[in-house]
Structure 1
């Protein structure tokens, strides 16, 4: 009996798990099978691996070859495990030493000519391997930039199955190359925060909207901007990451792991810039929350994790798309069920929506330029349902500015993103210190019971009067309290005053 064994890492959504791959070469008629709940693309690895090993000069055993992927209860998918399957068969056939792959993770897709192709998800794979004490990995050379982002693990790079065999002590046919197998390329540089996004100082006037965005960034609040076309709503939203707190190391790896899985990490590297996603209003439910056949793939809400999800022309989005946002807005996760199981993705983002006041966009002020019928205006804005609007902490009107003054961009009243970000960081730090015993990091996470207990009685009385007047719901009252605490943090005071509470209520009830 000959058994070869190696390790790989599988992914169910964003959750990695170790896979032990064992190859068993036994007597019998020539047959190659893969067991352990593989999907169709993984079952097709039989032909890819056979051809790739033959291209490297390995004589495939003319007997029965069985490859088991354990744990058998978890689904495995994709071509990520091709190289590990090839390595286990090579070890079982004594083409390489059988013990050379102990405590080694092997990932990569193989082609029929033996070349090793890059795969998605290298970053979370190596992070999970390191977490489990594994200190050696073999990955495709094309994934080297991404693999170098993970410290404290020895990574070897191969571009052909023959290189894998030579690396592990066997003899093989290797294509001519001047690149050593253990080459270590420089890591991808992370983009600087100030170079990656625009500056708030570039937005002319709109001081009230900028103040609302700063409050949203400081407290982690969701925001809706309503105004006619051309007033700067999209420009303001796109600069939101420039005033948000930079991501800490743990958050950076979370975001980078998501980008690794969807194949966009090479464009970003490990960056402290919060992500920004702006799907088109024709986007489907699956593209927003995640979907696909078999096991679901991440959607826009997951790619916006730890950052901003911006819905421009929000009333133009489909009603089902908007309703699917209710769960992630509350829980910070999204569960997508498909035929092969349920996948849970992280989705802790800040939602920013922009909308026109009516279909033509000019139903503001006196409304003299508006060409819409009254029922069309009501129908248009009612697409943003009450339950969705109730989850939006801040609602602000973005109206046309007066005149453009020479040098207004650099005026003292027009703060830059850097100045606004310093104030946001200071406010977030005050909230973090106050809420650390509860395990929260910003005011948006504070529970209703905590808010009711710690808000001064005079400030709480203002909320009760608003509730008695049916200005807001109980959930809306809690969100107004969170806003008041954030405004107090930006002002550098220990608790919200009546003025802070009035400002918070105004921010929630201005445009609806």
Structure 2
């Protein structure tokens, strides 16, 4: 008589999770094991992993036809995280365990041939989804249990071997657990989030530090232009340290992305915004995400709620730079591939750094510059107008001509002091935009800005528009900067001086 066993797992399309219901059907026929329901190659290979692992737990594999269906059948499934659930469904169909024991339970884990359960990426967002779907329990690899327990109000059980799963669900197993199959990850994989450094370590550059503080206070993108060695990279790497700490929901978002990328054990749960700095040879797929079948996250998604730093920005390919235009506006990225469209969040702060010319020395009187005029024009023109128009703050980073012993920079402010001032300004913006769903000035709608900015301040914007210093998009961004500057000084709305500074910040003080 044919029997059916059931189990549930979690699949992903991008960062969007969906429940995968598995039904194993053991019927009469020649020995054959098939998995249907749009599995990818790694999931199709689960047939050998599941068969060998179950036999390692003392289970006699049915010498009949075994079919496992993954539903919904129209959704592509990928990865090895479904191995343990497939094994559970087959064991239920064979009568080894009770299928009722898996009701309202999600099972995640990759199987080794000896039956050991290996950790898998994406456990945190999977458990979050399981909880939202009313599941009461999740069974995960023992190495992922700390990650799964970050989600409250859902029971979490860790297993190290498929035999432990069988015993957990009321069956009997015969297996030997190798001492190497512990609960911990290999040495060296656990580490705290990398330190971002302190702004007080940067000598001079007070104006640039102030500009980055404005960027952090309003969520603005920034471009730093200056000669080699002026401190552009050092300044950008310290921006996360002065940004407002992540809230609980934001921490969960960042951790979910890192879990899906398999890097959560490196960083853990932290309130420090992420920092990504791809090399200038990175392709467009490396930046926004890519891959065959279903696209995987790129650098802009890993920088979600944090900073994406593009050093030597003009050296990036034109195609890679142009792919940033949509996520800069929308805060997300949709990647369509043959097996589906993956959606990933990408609300990051972009910081670009550039030399003034290919050799880097076209500053001041330009005596050291060896570049031809056309080479200088061609170099910087790689940053197209549409990209530069989306960069709110554009500042010159001059060279440092003197080292003063004991210099604390930024008028003695360290990152903690600057972060406190940023948080205060963010609180002002959050209170003002409470009814609009915006969290910072960079997200404010242009219509709202034009309605609530004083006529005297708007007059300065109109002059800049008339002279060609600003485009219409640039005018809105200058007004957003003016509101941020008003928040930083404790004002209720921007005055003419705030607007003048906002326009100057957009035009590299020219």
Aligned partner of 1:162 in structure 2 is: 163
Partner of residue 310, structure 2: 311
Give the equivalent residue in structure 1 for 2:222: 223
Q: What is the CA distance between 1:70 and its match in structure 2?
A: 1.1
Q: Secondary structure at the match of 1:437?
A: coil
Residues 28 and 128 of structure 1: is their aligned pair in 2 closer, same or farther, counting only changes over 3 Å?
A: same
Residues 1:13 and 1:180: Cα distance change in structure 2 (over 3 Å): closer
Tell me if the contact between 1:120 and 1:260 (Cα under 8 Å) persists in the aligned partners. Answer: yes
Q: In the aligned structure 2, how far is the partner of 1:197 from the partner of 1:301?
A: 18
Q: Deviations over 1:394-414 (max 9, x none)?
A: 0000001231112112x7813
Q: Secondary structure at the match of 1:59?
A: coil
Tell me the equivalent position of 2:43: 42
TM, length-normalised to structure 1: 0.96
1:128-143 matched pairs, under 5 angstroms:
128-143=129-144
Deviation string 1:92-132 (CA, Å, 9 cap, x unpaired) is: 11111221111111011111121111111011111111122
Shift of residue 39 of structure 1?
1.2
The corresponding residue for 1:273 is 272
SS at structure 2 position matched to 1:465: helix
Shift of 1:19: 1.1
Matches within 5 A, 1:41-190: 41-176=42-177
Instruction: Give the Cα separation in 2 of the matches to 1:346 and 1:77.
Output: 20
CA deviation vs aligned residue, 1:20-62 (integer Å, no higher than 9, x gap): 1111111222221111111121111111111111111101111
Q: In the alignment, what sits opposite 2:24? A: 23
What's 1:470 paired with? 468
The answer to which of 26-35 and 304-313 deviates more is: 26-35
Alpha-carbon contact 2:160-2:183 (below 8 Å) kept: no
- Bigger Cα displacement from structure 2, 137-146 vs 489-498: 137-146
CA–CA distance in 2 between the matches of 1:4 and 1:176? 26
Aligned residues: CA RMSD:
1.9
Structure 1: state its 5+ residue gaps.
none
Q: Structure 2, unaligned stretches of length 5 or more?
A: none
Could you say which residue in structure 2 is the equivalent of 1:484? 482
1:228–1:399 Cα contact (<8 Å) kept: yes
Tell me, what secondary structure is at the counterpart of 1:100? Answer: helix
Contact 1:157 1:181 in 2 (8 A): no
- Aligned counterparts of 2:142 and 2:27: Cα–Cα separation in 1: 33
- The structure 1 segments of at least 4 consecutive aligned residues displaced by more than 3 Å after TM superposition are 176-183, 188-192
* Matched ranges for 1:452-471 at <5 A: 452-471=450-469
Q: Which residue of 2 aligns with 1:340?
A: 339
Partner of 2:440: 442
Verify the 8 A CA contact 1:106 1:139 in the aligned structure 2.
yes
Please state how far the C-alpha of 1:491 moved relative to its aligned partner. Answer: 0.5
Question: How many corresponding residue pairs?
Answer: 505
Q: Is the 8 A contact 2:206 2:410 kept in 1?
A: no
Q: How does 1:415-434 map to 2 (within 5 A)?
A: 415-434=413-432
Tell me which residue corresponds to 2:496.
498
Q: Where do residues 217-296 of structure 1 align in structure 2 (5 Å cutoff)?
A: 217-296=216-295
